[in-house]
């Protein structure tokens, strides 16, 4: 499969990435190209000890809709009917309305293997696993946007973990970390405030 080539420079794409809550189910690129974006990230994003613990699931079409139905059915059992009205509207309008969803997992078998192999780092491997997952999330988020799509990052895990695992017959060792619904943006995100860089970055020279 071909590599994915970005239109913007890395710096431009990073500056351009936002959360898009208003999305429809169209895509300016083919599903194969979306798959290539996921493959590029999963292949090239680094991981501690090159352990490659990240797993990704790309849900398109009926599968994407099935995921958001799982989220709705799960939440329906947990919150009041009143609260659910709002929740359902948000899920339908901001997430299910999109073209697809990327699910991010970390394979716990890999992490346990590292802990056994390198006991002195045992406490760090679960933390580094989250680091590499986050790097994959940013890479895919940024590449999807570069391709003309808009995405958000959602966390309905661990509530939906069991249902997701059984629905797509995924290994029990795959721990769900985040869900990224995406589609063609139908509205621009609002303005964003940036804290003073002087408070956040120190340079010594
Ligand atoms: C680690 C992390 C967790 C986040 N979790 C959620 C989430 O559960 N739901 C959500 O709607 N947005 C979530 N976001 C999105 C942030 O709220 C958003 O990125 C931030 O407000 C900056 O806005 P921007 O993405 O438009 O630049 C998350 C972002 C990060 C980096």
Q: Could you report the per-residue pLDDT of 147-195, keeping only the tens digit for each? A: 999 999 999 999 999 999 999 999 999 999 999 999 999 999 999 999 9
CA of 154 to the centre of ligand 1 (A): 8
Alpha helices in 5-150 (DSSP H): 10-16, 31-44, 62-76, 81-90, 108-117, 124-146
Among protein residues, the one with the nearest Cα to ligand 1's atom 17 is 19
Ligand 1 atom closest to Cα of residue 20: 26
pLDDT of the residue at 3: 65
Mean confidence (pLDDT) of the chain = 97
Q: Is residue 199 very low, low, confident or very high in pLDDT (cuts 50, 70, 90)?
A: very high
Would you say residue 5 has pLDDT above 80? no
pLDDT of the residue at 163: 98
174-185 and 150-151 strand pairing: antiparallel
142 lines ligand 1 (CB under 6 A): no
pLDDT of the residue at 148: 97
Q: Could you report the per-residue pLDDT of 125-152, keeping only the tens digit for each? A: 999 999 999 999 999 999 999 999 999 9
């Amino acid at each position: 499969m071909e590599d994915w080539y970005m239109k913007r420079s890395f710096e431009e794409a990073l500056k351009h990435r936002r959360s898009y809550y208003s999305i429809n189910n169209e895509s300016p690129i083919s599903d194969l190209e979306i798959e290539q974006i996921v493959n590029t990230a999963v292949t090239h994003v680094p991981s501690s000890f090159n352990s490659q613990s990240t797993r990704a699931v790309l849900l398109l079409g009926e599968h994407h809709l099935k995921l958001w139905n799982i989220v709705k059915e799960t939440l329906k059992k947990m919150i009041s009917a009143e609260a659910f009205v709002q929740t359902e509207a948000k899920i339908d309008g901001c997430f299910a309305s999109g073209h697809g969803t990327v699910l991010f997992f970390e394979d716990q078998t890999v992490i346990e293997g590292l802990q056994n192999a390198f006991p002195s780092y045992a406490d760090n491997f679960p933390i580094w696993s989250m680091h590499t997952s986050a790097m994959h999330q940013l890479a895919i988020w940024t590449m999807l946007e570069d391709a003309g799509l808009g995405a958000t990052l959602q966390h309905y895990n661990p509530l939906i973990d069991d249902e997701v695992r059984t629905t797509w017959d995924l290994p029990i060792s795959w721990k769900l970390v985040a869900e990224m619904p995406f589609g063609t943006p139908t509205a621009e995100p609002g303005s964003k405030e940036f804290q003073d860089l002087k408070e956040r970055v120190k340079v010594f020279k």
